[in-house]
Amino acid sequence: MTEIVRIACIDSEAPPLFHKSLDGVLREGYEPEAAQLVFGRLGRRVEWVFFAWEDMIPAVREGDVDAVWCGQGITAERAELVDFTAPYAVFNETVVVRAGDRARSPQDLAGYRIGAIENSTNEKLAATFPGIELVGFGSSDDVFRDMIEATRNGSIDGFVDDDVVNIPLVEQDSAFATAFIVETRNRWAIGVAPGNDELRMQINGALAAVIADGSLESVWKRWMPLLDFPLPA
């Protein structure tokens, strides 16, 4: 029987990273397909386990799941809680506002209510913008959609998230515009429980293999053709 690996994630509509699951089991998007590719190399089957954003890392630490593979930029704070693999993605961060808004720099946001996912690299970046009111989002399973709708209805003036989700949003929805992009080059990786070196090294080996043979790049280009693949062999 194929060994199962249980991975924590949120169940949210954030294409092209991932789509909301239609059946509570299967997922589509760059992250799910990349995970299937990597763990397939290890002869393991992925089982997704859905949590609220703030509960994913605790679930790994408590042993409820084997890893978290869901938008985890490597930060010093997270690295104290989980052990990270090598990166499977590198992204910048983008500020989205309503169409017609003339903000084009952090200084233009003074007096704005700016949203970001709580305890995220996006929230940390937003906190550096002078004169804004920072509005945290995190209580919902579909936090990205919550920020979009809050901006659309005027509850907030804009929000910060990664270019991988914000660039397609602006292209597909004329209600929004890109204020500016911050070249943060955040490295995203898989988090395992502290000390689980065996699993971390297995993932690193499989990641190196799928980067070297071009298969991860093929997955990237299928889901994110607007972004250059950032992980040369």
Number of other residues whose CB lies within 10 A of the CB of residue 28: 15
Give yes or no for a contact between 170 and 177, defined as CB atoms under 8 angstroms apart: yes
Residue type at 189 in one-letter notation: A
Model pTM? 0.84
Planar angle of CA 65, 165, 95, nearest 5 degrees: 120
First to last CA, the chain: 32
Residue type at 144 in one-letter notation: F
φ, ψ of residue 165 in degrees (nearest 5):
-100, -30
DSSP, res 102: -
Give yes or no for a contact between 149 and 142, defined as CB atoms under 8 angstroms apart: no
Confidence at residue 150, expressed as pLDDT on a 0 to 100 scale? 98
93 vs 95: CA distance, rounded Å:
7
Q: What is the pLDDT along the chain (233 residues), one digit of tens a residue?
A: 469 999 999 998 888 999 999 998 899 999 999 999 999 999 999 999 999 989 999 999 999 999 999 999 999 999 999 999 999 999 999 999 999 999 999 999 999 999 999 988 999 999 999 999 999 998 677 889 999 999 999 999 999 999 999 999 999 999 999 999 999 999 999 999 999 999 999 999 999 999 999 999 999 999 999 889 999 87
DSSP labels for 145-214? HHHHHHHHTTSSSEEEEEHHHHHHHHHH-TTEEEEEEEEEEEEEEEEE-TT-HHHHHHHHHHHHHHHHTS
**Domains of the chain as residue ranges with CATH:** 3-90+186-223 (3.40.190.10), 91-184 (3.40.190.10)
Give yes or no for a contact between 178 and 165, defined as CB atoms under 8 angstroms apart: no
**Strand 83-98 and strand 176-192: pairing?**
antiparallel
**CA neighbours closer than 13 Å in the CB half-sphere of residue 86:** 16
Confidence at residue 20, expressed as pLDDT on a 0 to 100 scale? 93
